[in-house]
Amino acid sequence: MAFRWTRDGGNERENFERTTEAPEEYLQSPIYYLLSNSTEEIRQKLTVADPELNFPIFNLFRERGSTDYFATKRMFLRKDNAAPVDPMQTEEGVVVSLTTDAPDGFTDDHLDGFRQLLPPLCVTMKCAANRLMAEDITAAYLGRDASKRVLSGDISRGSTQTIPAVIWYFDLKGFTKMSETLPGPAIIDMLNDYFAEAVEVVERHGGNVLKFMGDGMLAIFDMDQIPDARRVAIEAALELRDAFIPLNDRRKAAGLTVTEFTLALHAGDVLYGNIGGRNRLDFTVIGPAVNTTSRILGMCSAVDQAIVISAKVAAPLLESIPDLVSLGQYRLRGVRDRQELFTLD
């Protein structure tokens, strides 16, 4: 990531994705040169007629009135900052560059003062970067809401809270049979394709994806945070049903295996928090409502429907969503009361 400060424009942040191919702009930059050469610093007066170092971006700096350029690198895990670094596989560190529009450029006192500021500046940048990386990593593995809770210190085993939620339980049809016939890489690619669509739909509607279980995915829509969570969850289910059509068309055109999904929606109070062993915790939801959702998912094949919704979700919306159709009442294994189930026409 890059942070840029300008006198008139304030500051901005730019993120760069990891890639195996460097853009030409980077290859012709002073930063690429600094990293790949045996030097700790580079400096170039921008007003001289025949500069020793010249890069395309220097022309932009000159247009903006810059007279001098200075850049330095600091690697966090080594003492020799002058040693070259692979610009495509860089180590943890910071590259800082400065320009000035002072008529005579930087003075020696300017640069000496800046060098004294580098250690605390690097510590600050490292702490900030580590926090951002921690947020990205925990969000990728735990989900956005669980990530915030964990990073705020909610990491004690057994620390849970009861929340009302719409529970979303999704899985792929026929996965066991496919996993026995398809090669491993094809299975992984297929899961990534379908999960990517499901995760995007859930998160776009404000839901939190909690975990993947083989070909299944568990998510919740927090009713305290999303007042109309029942309707939102149903809209997400409809959107996912529509999204599978072009996704399967693309996979068919590429000669890839396609499948469909089953989805159960139920609502109730759940225990949301840390559960597990002393040294290995899972941030998830448990409770009778979660178990009931699992049983409802198992009914999809029995009632021959891709989407099955409990009365806890559907009943308050029957007048406003005419596509909700009752499938009748059923006894579910391990669930005391009969459940009326619905689907979407």
Q: In this structure, what CATH number is given to the domain that contains residue 284?
A: 3.30.70.1230
Average pLDDT over residues 302-316: 96
Give the long-range contacts of residues 21-25, CB within 8 A, separation 24 or more: 22/87, 22/88, 25/56
Return the pLDDT at 155: 60
- Is the pLDDT confidence value at 248 over 90? yes
Domain end, chosen from 83, 115, 142, is at 142
Same structural domain, 167 and 214: yes
* Residue 2 confidence (pLDDT): 85
Same domain, 251 and 326: yes
Q: Is the dihedral of CA 239, 244, 245, 250 positive or negative?
A: positive
Asked which of 152-166, 191-205, 251-265 is least confident by mean pLDDT, the reply is 152-166
| 181: CB partners within 8 A, 6+ apart | none
Residue 173 lies in a domain: yes
Each residue's pLDDT tens digit, 54-75? 999 999 999 999 999 999 999 8
Q: Are residues 182 and 261 in the same domain?
A: yes
How many other CB atoms sit within 10 Å of the CB of residue 330? 16
Same domain (yes/no): 233, 296 = yes
Q: 86, 113, 142 — which closes off a domain? A: 142
CA angle 215, 281, 195 (to 5 degrees): 20
Same domain, 158 and 138: no
Q: Is the pLDDT of residue 264 over 90?
A: yes
Higher pLDDT: 280 or 335? It is 335
Domain count for the chain: 2
Mean pLDDT of 274-282: 76
Same domain, 179 and 318: yes
Q: Answer whether residue 14 is part of any domain.
A: yes
The Cα 307–Cα 172 span in angstroms is 12
- pLDDT at position 150: 77
| CATH number (domain holding residue 90) | 3.30.450
pLDDT at 154: 64
Q: Decide if pLDDT at 282 tops 80.
A: no
Query: Does residue 253 lie in a domain region?
Result: yes
Given a cut of 90, whether residue 295 has pLDDT beyond it is: yes
Over 70: is that where the pLDDT of 287 sits?
yes
- pLDDT in the model for residue 141: 79
Average pLDDT, the chain: 90
The pLDDT value recorded for residue 87 is 84
201 and 252 fall within a common domain: yes
- Are residue 185 and residue 51 in the same domain, yes or no? no
Give yes or no for residue 158 having a pLDDT over 70.
Answer: no
Per the structure, the complete domain to which residue 330 belongs is given by 153-344
Residue 95, token pair as written in the block: 């590259």
Q: Give the pair of three-digit tokens for residue 204.
A: 């776009």
**Of the candidates 190, 194, 175, the residue with the CA atom closest to the CA atom of residue 245:** 194
**Domain for residue 148, yes or no?**
no
Shared domain check, 158 and 136: no
Structure tokens at 106: 């930087």
Decide which of 268 and 152 is more confident: 268
Is there a single domain that holds both residue 63 and residue 99? yes
Per-residue confidence (pLDDT) for residue 132, from 0 to 100: 82
Domain boundary among 88, 114, 142: 142
> CA 143 to CA 79: how far, in whole Å?
37
The answer to the question of residue 147 being in a domain is no
CB 207 within 8 A of CB 198: no
**CA 294 to each of CA 7, 165, 177, 224, 301: distance values in angstroms, whole numbers, following the listed order:** 58, 15, 21, 22, 13
Instruction: Please tell me the predicted confidence (pLDDT) of residue 166.
Output: 97
Instruction: Indicate if 52 and 161 belong to the same structural domain.
Output: no
CB 332 within 8 A of CB 339: yes
Q: What is the DSSP string of 37-77?
A: SS-SEEEEESSSSS-SS--HHHHHHHHTT--EEEEEEEETT
Shared domain check, 117 and 224 = no
Q: What is the residue-wise DSSP string for 196-262?
A: HHHHHHHHHTT-EEEEEETTEEEEEEETTT-TTHHHHHHHHHHHHHHHHHHHHHHHHHTT-----EE
Span between the terminal Cα atoms of the chain, in Å:
47
* pLDDT (tens digit per residue) in 84-128: 988 887 778 899 999 999 999 999 999 999 999 999 998 988 888
